[in-house]
C-alpha cells in the first residue's frame, strides 16, 4: 500500500456516521485539487471565486463531512449555484464523480430544510404534481399554447421581470395534432435491421412532439422497427437535480417495468439519457445519434443547403461521453456544411430549470455561448436536449441571430 493510499484509508468514515455528507466523504478524497477543472467551470469563469469552482465545492463537501463546518446556507447556495453541467468530470484527471457528489449534497440540503419559500414550493409542486402526470402536464401546456395564440407574448413586458423572462424562454407550442403520443409501433422500412424502443419523456411530447416524430421516422427509414411502450414516463432527472432522489427512484421503477423485455432503448434527450444511463436501465440505453452512427445510415438524409454549428449538450458530451457521433451524422446531410464555433462543449445555462431558478447567472453563461455562435453566424444551430434547444432559441431571438435552432434528427 502506498503512502497516499494509507492516508486515505485512515481518514475514511463509516457509512453510518451521523454527520451530514458523511457517506460521500470517500468520493471527495478523489479530488487532488489540481485545478484543471477551473477553466471548464461556468460559474468559476463568471465569478472567479474558488468556492464557486468544482474544487472549491468539493472542499465544502469534505469540510461538512468532517464536521469542520455546518451544512448551512453557504453550502446550500453553492450546491445550487452549480449548473451541474459536469464539464469538470471531462477535465478531471482523477475521475472525480462530481455529478453524484452534487446530487447527494443537494439531497442533504433538502433534507435539512435549507431551501424554503414560495419559489421552492412552486418548484416542488411543478416537479411532483405536474411534470410526471401526462394529463396535468398536457392541460398546462395547452393553456400556454392558447395564451400564445391569443398574443399574450405582446403583454409579457407588463409582467414582473422574472415572469417575463420565463415566458420568453418558452418555444412556440406545437399544434395539438403534433403533441399526440406516437403510435405504439412504427414498422421498419426496407430491410429490417433491428427493433428498438423509443423513450418519449415527459416534456418532449408536449414541447417537442415533432422531434419525437422525426426520431421515429429516421429510425424506421434506417431499418429499425420502433416500439413505444405504454406506461413509460418522466425519467426523474430534474427531481434528482433538485435533491429529490426518493421521488426520482419511484419514477425510475415505473420505467423499468414499462421497458421490460426490450433490448435497446433509444433516447433523444441528453438529460434523460444521462439519467437513465445511471440507473437500472443503463445497459440498454442508447442516444439516437450514438445508435445511428454506430449502425450506419442506410437512408440518405434530405438535402439541406447551408451552414450549421453543432452545440454539445452537457449531459451528452460530459455525462455520456458522446461528442463526435452527432457531428459525423450531420456531415452526411447533403448540402450542409458544419462550421466550428469557439465554445461548443460549455454549458448554455439551461441546466434543467437553472435558467428559472438562477436567471442572472444563466444569462451570463449563455452570453459567452451566443458570442461564439454570433461570430460563426450559421444558418442552423443543432443540439440534442430540450432545455438546450429552448435556451439557445430564446438567446438567438434575443440577440437577433438568423440561425434556426433544431435537434439533429430534424435534419436527418
pLDDT attached to residue 155: 73
pTM of the model: 0.93
pLDDT attached to residue 169: 85
pLDDT attached to residue 17: 64
Cβ atoms of residues 58 and 98 within 8 Å = yes
pLDDT attached to residue 341: 97
Residues 391 and 316: their CA atoms lie apart, in Å, by 16
What class is the 3-111 domain?
Answer: mainly alpha
Residues 43 and 219: their CA atoms lie apart, in Å, by 38
Residues 347 and 42: their CA atoms lie apart, in Å, by 7
User: Which one is the CATH code of 306-411: 3.40.50, 3.10.170, 3.90.1530, 3.40.1350?
Assistant: 3.40.50
Q: What is the CA radius of gyration of the chain?
A: 22
Could you give the dihedral angle defined by the CA atoms of residues 404, 268, 142 and 167, in that order, rounded to the nearest 10 degrees?
-50
pLDDT attached to residue 5: 37
Residue for grid cell 427493433: 195
Helix (H) or strand (E) holding 358: none
Q: What is the DSSP letter of 131?
A: T
Helix (H) or strand (E) holding 265: strand 265-267
Residues 296 and 92: their CA atoms lie apart, in Å, by 32
Helix (H) or strand (E) holding 286: strand 285-287
Q: Mean pLDDT of residues grouped by 10 in the chain (412 residues)? A: 36 62 96 96 98 98 96 97 98 97 98 95 97 96 92 74 80 91 96 97 96 98 98 98 98 98 96 98 98 97 97 98 98 98 97 95 97 98 98 96 98 97
Amino acid at each position: 500500500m502506498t503512502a497516499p493510499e494509507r492516508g486515505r484509508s485512515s481518514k475514511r468514515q463509516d457509512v453510518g456516521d451521523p454527520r451530514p455528507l458523511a457517506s460521500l466523504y470517500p468520493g471527495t478524497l478523489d479530488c487532488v485539487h489540481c485545478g484543471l477543472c477551473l477553466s471548464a467551470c461556468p460559474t468559476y469563469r463568471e465569478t472567479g471565486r474558488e468556492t464557486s469552482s468544482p474544487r472549491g465545492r468539493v472542499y465544502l463537501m469534505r469540510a461538512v463531512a468532517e464536521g469542520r463546518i455546518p451544512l448551512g446556507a453557504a453550502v446550500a447556495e453553492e450546491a445550487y449555484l452549480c449548473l451541474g453541467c459536469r464539464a469538470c468530470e471531462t477535465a478531471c484527471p482523477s475521475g472525480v464523480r462530481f455529478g453524484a457528489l452534487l446530487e447527494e449534497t443537494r439531497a442533504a440540503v433538502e433534507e435539512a430544510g435549507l431551501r424554503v419559500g414560495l419559489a421552492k414550493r412552486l418548484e416542488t409542486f411543478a416537479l411532483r404534481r405536474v411534470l410526471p402526470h401526462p394529463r396535468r402536464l398536457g392541460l398546462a401546456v395547452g393553456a400556454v399554447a392558447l395564451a400564445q395564440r391569443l398574443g399574450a407574448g405582446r403583454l409579457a413586458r407588463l409582467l414582473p421581470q422574472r415572469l417575463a423572462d420565463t415566458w420568453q424562454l418558452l418555444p412556440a407550442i406545437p399544434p395539438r395534432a403534433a403533441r399526440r403520443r406516437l403510435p405504439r409501433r412504427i414498422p421498419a422500412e426496407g430491410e429490417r435491421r433491428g427493433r428498438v424502443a423509443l423513450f418519449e419523456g415527459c416534456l418532449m411530447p408536449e414541447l417537442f412532439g415533432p422531434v419525437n416524430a422525426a426520431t421515429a421516422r429516421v429510425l424506421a427509414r434506417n431499418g429499425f422497427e420502433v416500439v413505444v411502450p405504454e406506461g413509460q414516463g418522466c425519467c426523474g432527472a430534474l427531481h434528482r437535480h433538485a435533491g429529490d432522489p426518493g421521488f426520482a427512484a419511484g419514477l425510475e421503477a415505473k420505467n423499468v417495468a414499462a421497458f421490460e423485455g426490450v433490448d435497446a432503448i433509444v433516447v433523444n434527450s441528453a438529460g434523460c439519457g444521462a439519467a437513465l444511463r445511471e440507473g437500472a436501465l443503463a445497459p440498454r440505453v442508447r442516444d439516437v445519434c450514438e445508435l445511428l452512427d454506430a449502425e450506419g445510415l442506410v437512408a440518405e438524409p434530405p438535402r439541406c443547403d447551408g451552414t450549421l454549428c453543432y452545440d454539445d449538450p452537457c449531459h451528452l458530451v460530459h455525462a455520456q461521453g458522446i461528442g463526435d457521433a452527432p457531428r459525423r451524422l450531420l456531415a452526411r446531410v447533403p448540402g450542409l456544411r458544419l462550421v466550428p464555433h469557439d465554445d461548443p462543449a460549455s454549458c448554455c445555462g439551461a441546466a434543467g430549470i437553472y435558467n428559472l431558478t438562477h436567471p442572472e447567472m444563466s444569462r451570463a453563461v449563455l452570453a459567452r455561448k451566443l458570442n461564439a455562435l454570433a461570430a460563426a453566424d450559421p444558418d442552423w444551430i443543432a443540439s440534442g436536449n430540450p432545455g438546450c434547444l429552448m435556451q439557445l432559441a430564446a438567446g438567438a431571438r434575443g440577440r437577433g441571430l438568423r440561425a434556426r435552432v433544431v435537434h439533429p434528427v430534424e435534419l436527418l
